[in-house]
Structure 1
């Protein structure tokens, strides 16, 4: 089976690397950014092009959500399968006379950060059982965590990921701003962050919650609020604490 990956960003790089490490041959990496494509090619030994798209049995489109529809139009093959990697775009956005699918890896990707690909869940959607089975076999060469999902499910999977990953990382960034403002090394907070994440591998996030908001400790909450000068940080502080207090009404906890 000939596979072409379209894209040169974080997802394209890691998918190409995951395929290569699991002996899945990739015939070409195709895209517009020659610098990034060349870097991927040199690291993984996969041919690249910015001009001529090779014929393939499977095209994996790993580009920004807003570019998927336009990029999908460049594929002229009729007897092929085209799958995008988005959690928030329906497969009907793929424009072309070919078979359509979704091949969604649930992970945050950065080129400079190595990943254990066998821990990444893959959520798949296809128009027919044959195409789904093909994608399933492909994904299972990378990870045992493979699940069939509809577009409706994928939307909620992506929304959950935004809360669990994107929002959480933004809170880390805002926390670092506070520690930096007082010349406190942010590294000192990493054991706390690690334990917070490690804990939810063993108990539910709701049961793992600690802190002044769950205790309804208004004295501490007010003293913290007075320390915050940044408006965005203060808004986040108020919204988060209100949400925690509402979730744990009539409950008590100890830090």
Structure 2
């Protein structure tokens, strides 16, 4: 089975790299950003193009959500399987006379960060059983964790990921703003962050909660509020209110 990856961002890069590492290199990586495509091509030894999309059995669309529909219209091969990699879009966002599918890797991707591909959960959706099996086989060549998912379930998977990853990372960014403002090295907090994440591998997140809000320590809460302003203060109050509601404090 021949595969083409469309896109040049983080997801496109890592899926291309995962396929190369598992000895099923894409036939082409295609997109608009020639600089990024060329860099991926040189690193992974994959042909690239910004103009001519080669015929393929499988096309993986790895672009931003708002571009998926337009990009899907570029694919003219009718007997191909075309899959987007979005967690939040339905299968029918794909516009073309081909077999439509979803190939969603549940992970945060950055080009500079190495990833253990075998641990990534992949969620597959397809219009027929034959295509589902084809995509399961492709995903299983990369990962040990491949599952089928409907759009209704996948929406909630993606929503959960936003809370568990994007929001948490934003809090890290806000925390670093505070430490930077006081010339406190953020490295001091990395063991705390690491232990927080390790802990939820063994304990339910609700049971692992610590801090002044869950203790309803008004003195500490009020002290912290006096040290903050603007967005950080609003976040602090909102988070503490949510914690107290969860524990009915």
TM-score interval, smaller chain: over 0.9
Residues 16 and 25, structure 2, Cα contact 8 Å, conserved in 1: no
2:231 corresponding residue in structure 1: 232
Output the CA distance in 2 between the equivalents of 1:59 and 1:140.
Answer: 17
1:92 corresponding residue in structure 2: 92
Alignment of 1:145-160 (within 5 A): 145-160=145-160
Alignment of 1:178-189 (within 5 A): 178-189=178-189
TM-score of the two chains, using structure 2 as the length reference = 0.99
Output the CA distance in 2 between the equivalents of 1:167 and 1:142.
Answer: 27
Output the CA distance in 2 between the equivalents of 1:11 and 1:208.
Answer: 32
Per-residue displacement from partner, 1:18-53 (whole Å, max 9, x unpaired)? Answer: 001011131000000000000000000000000100
Output the CA distance in 1 between the equivalents of 2:143 and 2:76.
Answer: 31
Per-residue displacement from partner, 1:147-190 (whole Å, max 9, x unpaired)? Answer: 10001111100000000000000000000000011110000000
2:65 corresponding residue in structure 1: 65
Q: Secondary structure at the match of 2:18?
A: helix
Q: Structure 1 stretches (4+) deviating beyond 2 angstroms?
A: none
Segments of 5+ residues of structure 2 without an aligned counterpart are none
Q: Shift in Å at residue 75 of structure 1? A: 0.3
Output the CA distance in 2 between the equivalents of 1:8 and 1:82.
Answer: 17
1:131 corresponding residue in structure 2: 131
2:77 is the counterpart of 1:77: yes
Output the CA distance in 1 between the equivalents of 2:25 and 2:213.
Answer: 52
Q: Shift in Å at residue 130 of structure 1? A: 0.7
Alignment of 1:237-248 (within 5 A): 237-248=236-247
Alignment of 1:97-136 (within 5 A): 97-136=97-136
2:37 corresponding residue in structure 1: 37
TM-score of the two chains, using structure 1 as the length reference = 0.97
Q: Secondary structure at the match of 2:142?
A: coil
Output the CA distance in 2 between the equivalents of 1:79 and 1:2.
Answer: 13
Q: Shift in Å at residue 218 of structure 1? A: 1.1
Output the CA distance in 1 between the equivalents of 2:117 and 2:80.
Answer: 26
Segments of 5+ residues of structure 1 without an aligned counterpart are 251-255
Output the CA distance in 1 between the equivalents of 2:73 and 2:234.
Answer: 43
Two-structure CA RMSD over aligned residues (Å): 0.7
